[in-house]
Amino acid sequence: MISSESQNHVSFSLSDKEIIRLGEWEEYIGILRDVRIHDGIILLEFDDCYIQLYGDLDVEKYIGKRIGILRTDIEGREVLVRVK
C-alpha cells in the first residue's frame, strides 16, 4: 500500500473516497472494484480510494481481483499491472 508519508503522490478528496495519483515507482495493491472515466481521467476504484491514471489502460478484466498498480518512468509503459 502507499505510504502516507510519500513525497511523490498528490491526493485530494472527491465524495467519500480519496483520489490518489501515484508518484514514479509507487505501487498500490488492492481489490479492483470498478473502472471509471471522469473528464478524460481513468479512476480505478478500490475499497478505500481511487487511483488516478491518464492514458489508455485495459484493466476492466481485473475487476474483482487483487492487483498491484505500479507507476514507472519507462516510456510506453508508464503503468504496470500485476495480479496478486
Spans of all domains in the chain: 10-83
- List, for the chain, all residue ranges whose pLDDT scores fall below the cut of 70: 1-15
Residue labelled with grid coordinates 492487483 = 67
Task: Give the model confidence (pLDDT) of 38-51 as tens digits.
Answer: 777 899 999 999 99
C-alpha–C-alpha distance, residues 39 and 41, integer Å: 6
C-alpha–C-alpha distance, residues 13 and 82, integer Å: 26
pLDDT of residue 37: 83
